[in-house]
Amino acid sequence: MTVIIATYDWESVLPYSIGSVLAQTFTDWELLVVGDACRDGSEAVVQGIGDPRVRWINLPAHTGHQSGPNNEGIRQAAGELIAYLGHDDLWLAHHLAVLVAAIDRGAGLAYGITEMVAPGGAWVEPAPRGLGPYRPGQWIPPTAVVHRRAAAVAAGGWRHPHDAGVDPEAELWQRIAEGGAELAFVPRLTAVKFPASARRDVYRLRPHEEQARCLERIRIESDFEARELARMLALAQRVSWRTLVRRRWTRLRTRLWKLVGYRRGVFERRRRFKGLD
């Protein structure tokens, strides 16, 4: 099993994402932390972990998207299975165990439920939307996914947003499915995501407090999964009209992108919002 963390100049958050890998009950893994031409202290943070399963790789040229580091991770992977973890995301301790079990049952790609957390915890919601069997084109966060390395290689690997036409992860999952792989949904909460796309200037501010608090909760609360699933259900039942409008606009926008293509301007606006330009 090879775990890939794609990262770019955010050294302060890495101890928490890496910490959630170290805490996995499934322990037969290597971790490749792949920098997108990082210039900060990320390498020193990774080297300081002191675990021989953890390795640092830094790309010579900046690609501006996780597709570059992910492809390099797949290229250098020793494992037959690939898992992704966002550098600012966290896994629950059973994440790899339950998804690898689904792969062992015959799936080519397996994914669980990811809790999407708004800034300051203002709202939480599950991803993917419409929990259940995979639907073509469905967006599933990479942090939620484990797949066979061979399936991604056969599909041609990750494409940059300028080339994919839609969100690259949704496009890759669909190519893997079209290649004949079974995509299996595991109805367990296995990950927590802090979407950078909801956090203005996050790459300028580079905070880590949310991740620190959440990882500590995951470590000490034995009922974390049940409590968070219940919280998401409760919030879904009393969602505000603003949230409904936001969700419907997001779905409409996604459909429009599929019709007209994932234009360069969309990708660049997202980068500017996150503080990457």
CATH code at position 221: 3.90.550.10
By residue count, the chain amounts to 277
Q: Give the pLDDT mean for 9-20.
A: 97
Q: Which domain holds residue 152?
A: 2-273
Q: Is the pLDDT of residue 270 over 60?
A: yes
Q: What is the DSSP string of 68-109?
A: HHHHHHHHH--SSEEEE--TT-EE-TTHHHHHHHHHHTT-SE
Give me the pLDDT at residue 19, please.
Answer: 98
Both tokens of residue 230? 């219940």
Both tokens of residue 238? 């009393």
Give me the pLDDT at residue 167, please.
Answer: 86
Using DSSP's 3-state secondary structure scheme, residue 148 falls into strand
Beta 109-117 vs 183-193: how paired, if at all?
A: parallel
Work out the percent of the chain whose per-residue pLDDT is above 90. 72
Residue 200's pLDDT band (cuts 50, 70, 90):
confident
Nearest to 143 by CA among 59, 66, 224: 66
Cβ burial 3-27 (10 Å sphere, 16+ → b, else e): bbbbbbbbbbbbbbbbbbbeebebe
Work out the percent of the chain whose per-residue pLDDT is above 70. 84
Give me the pLDDT at residue 244, please.
Answer: 56
Both tokens of residue 248? 């419907």
* C-alpha–C-alpha distance, residues 132 and 139, integer Å: 13
Number of domains in the chain: 1
Nearest to 184 by CA among 109, 101, 86: 109
58-72, 191-205, 234-248: range with lowest mean pLDDT: 234-248
Give me the pLDDT at residue 258, please.
Answer: 52
Query: Do you find a cis peptide bond into 128, omega within 30 degrees of 0?
Result: yes
The structure's pTM equals 0.89
Give me the pLDDT at residue 162, please.
Answer: 79
* C-alpha–C-alpha distance, residues 196 and 176, integer Å: 26
Q: Give the pLDDT mean for 188-202.
A: 92
Both tokens of residue 141? 């966060």
Using DSSP's 3-state secondary structure scheme, residue 113 falls into strand
149 alpha-carbon distance from chain centroid: 17
